[in-house]
Amino acid sequence: MIITIDGPAGAGKSSIARRVASELGFEFLDTGAMYRAVTWGVMQQGIAWDDVESLVEFADAAQLIWQDDRIYLDNQDISEEIRTPQVTSHIRYLADPPRIRERITAQQRRIATGRDIVTEGRDQGTEVFPDAHCKIFLTASPEERARRRQRQLAENGRVMSVEEILAAQNQRDLEDRMRPVGRLRAASDAIVVQTDGMSPDEVREEVLRLVRECVQASAANSASSDVTR
């Protein structure tokens, strides 16, 4: 079974997806880690960021493995190496070109085959897993997301004003909605969860409730299909 959780930056997708996966006994697929892994690999190879053909060739040959919440590139565990500011600042070179996204999308589908997965991103329910059993679109107002991000940064010893965060976030939202492939949008059959004013625990419980309803409906449909055969 595949459960997708999409939404804008700062909506809390990763933390909620991890907690939901843990509660259900599913695996969590960190799609962002996959883009980071390929970005890190490109940096190690010294490929120029404007050499699109070489970037596509590298993404095509890269062997990505997601196992036990760890990411492997060509059998090397690089789970820590991909979390640097340098990798973060260059992800767009791999996330934007449609031909590269096609290759990484294919790897995401391969990894999810035959597994119970909770996956998060911005296009999981629209492009990557359009036939997912349950689709959630997690969102909140820009101001709410900026305040959450400010608190998260403060916990890590970084100080930024809400205004600074909001400006950067609004630009990111605009870019995400304008992407030619994998743009940010809710799938037509996704359940939209507006989380303004909700605590992380409240969001988790609401998403779990919705997911369990999806699981029950899916099981009922399967049973009905078996009866009519």
Pick out the residues of the known binding site for ATP: 7-15
CA distance 171 to 105: 25
Tokens in use for 56? Answer: 């596509």
CB 107 within 8 A of CB 60: no
Q: Which residues of 185-218 are buried (b: 16+ CB within 10 A; e: fewer)?
A: bbbeebbebebeebeeeebbebbeebbeebbeee
User: Could you tell me which residues come within 8 angstroms of residue 139 by beta carbon, excluding any fewer than 6 positions away?
Assistant: 7, 8, 11, 192, 193, 194, 195
Q: Binding site residues, as ranges?
A: 7-15
CB 6 within 8 A of CB 121: yes
